[in-house]
Structure 1
Amino acid sequence: MKQIYSEIFQFRGSHYDFGYEQGRQLKDSLTIQNRKKHWKIRKPRFSINVYDTKDKFMQYAPNMWAELEGLRDGLELPMEEVLRDFGGYRTAITKSGCSIMTEEDYMIRNYDYQPQTYEGRYTLFKPTDGGYAVIGPTSRVTGRMDGMNEEGLVMAYNFTHRKSPEDGFVCYMIGRIILDTCANVDHAVQLLKEIPHRNAFSYILLDPNGKTYVVETSPRGVHVRSSNVCTNHFEYLTKENRHHLEDSYKRKEAINLQRESNMSAKEAFRLMNDSGRGVFSHKYKSWAGTIHTSAYFPKQREAWFALGGDAEPVKFSFDSWLKGEDIAFNKIEGEVDTDLSFAHMD
């Protein structure tokens, strides 16, 4: 078992200042050093045009461009490198797992991926220059793999396929833009229909009205369906699916067989996080091991978070934080059954 942690970063201010402060803190970190090592070994299979990328951000999320400029200044790196590592536009994505279930009052998701990509950051950000406050773990600093905003909109995504990519935003940046700019599920669905997608992903949405959708997206189409369970395959845009889906179907079946009507959030969290229930994954070397389990409660504006399996979640009152009450601790700890390195620790 490997002891791991996620650092909590709280910030109230402009997007530029948020980016700058993160860049300043990360400048000499292992996260940045490991990104530099990565590109010494592998060449990126994509190109970045700063002007084209800026045009896309100004169209869909201008505040995010300000955050990227702040990150550039804090890191003291060229914009080309910031966009390559943290921009989330025209970026290659590696395969991963993930399982999600929702009820009217909550969403719970397992984030399944490769430890060497995990940066161990959990942020609470309240902007003063427009956009919604957001709580959740980060991906590539600027992105969010799951989270909730101050309106109670909850978002998480699941990987489907990365074949035939096209110019567009990747999952973690689309997730961030949804939370930063959308007030409810309907707004998020409209954005997902309009924004250019690089790869095939499902986005799972929930808001305080209890509305929940799975939005299947790819560069070639978008389909919206009603469902409370999602793993790593499409139900409608099936031409986008991978050939080997046995594990995805197994996890979906495990959830459906064990969930009950009016299941409490605590029971649902145990279903997803307990290592012997068939949903939690140990496939870390295959880019599909469960690193964290998140839970969100849109009506109460509360979030739970646990690293590793068989764990009790740390609970956050996002509502209290929005009213000015800071989180009293700065780190979430847990353990994961792997000997692989983590990007922020090793």
Structure 2
Amino acid sequence: MEHRVLGRSGLYISEITYGNWLTHGETVERDTATSCIHAALDVGVTTFDTADVYAQGAAEEVLGHALKGLRRESVEIATKVCLPTGPGRNDRGLSRKHVIESCHASLRRLGVDYVDLYQAHRFDEGTPLEETLIAFDDLVRAGKVLYLGVSEWRAEQIEQALRIAGQLGLRSRIVANQPQYNMLWRVIEPEVLPVCAREGIGQLVFQPLAQGVLTGKYRPGQPAPAGTRATAGGRAPTFIARVLGPELLDRVQQLLPLARQSGLTMAQLAVAWTLNRPGITSAVIGATRPEQVRENAAASGKRLDAEVLRRIDAVLGDLVDRDPGKTARMMDVKPQWRTAAETP
């Protein structure tokens, strides 16, 4: 497992980050989830990502239990705050009250004294950005958080946060962004990635497999295999339906020869592709079985030559989404997370 420096910081994280959204505490049994985490540790993964909203806190509890007894300094734990964790009006968003209370609750569930990376899960139009940034800075000063990040923020929102932090003279600054990014969904390329490159912000990208579509297991004209996300309980089918379609599935099958040529499985090709893109620090993978962790983690350190990258673009062609407005519209003012947590 190779490691990379996160943005303009001194923190090293593993090229593969293990994430437990939509699995631990919700659709995967605790013992299986623990086995997946241990499999990640066995292959050299040191970075683990979760959030207070995942399974309403249960995911953090599972992760904390699985890491219990491990030397704390040997892992990097990331979690998030913003999406609803309760019925109250202050149980969501990025107000000082919710940020401070949620951090304390996350630390308690994880069984740790601090988290390495604390991330704003979404931008909150309803809270002054100064209030949020000061609350984050206070957590850093108190030693409960080491580094700060955001998730699915637009380029202008990141720039605004950096500008305000500078004006306020805050000690801490954003060093990480966690966006959705894969071969098919590349909306961060036109605006977010250039801003982050200029400002020294690293990317921990989630859904590198596009909900499993890029593994090639979903075939055109055939029902989804049993046990996959498309047939799972919870919210998984809602997400997978967004990226399924006969033409797309046919194009994905055309990537198989490129994977074989590179000596990789389809899943490894997809993960390696993200790690070969400029500005990407780590790929966040999830799993429902330990063997999936081992397969995907093997993509670390794999370099794809320019011809393979060119041919991937040629195969996917017009199905690749690079419209930055998509993220802007999805995460705009009065977002759905104020009433329901439906996004990773």
The verdict on a shared fold, with TM-score over 0.5 as the criterion, is no
TM-score normalized with structure 1 length? 0.28
The structure with the largest strand share of the pair is: 1
TM-score normalized with structure 2 length? 0.28
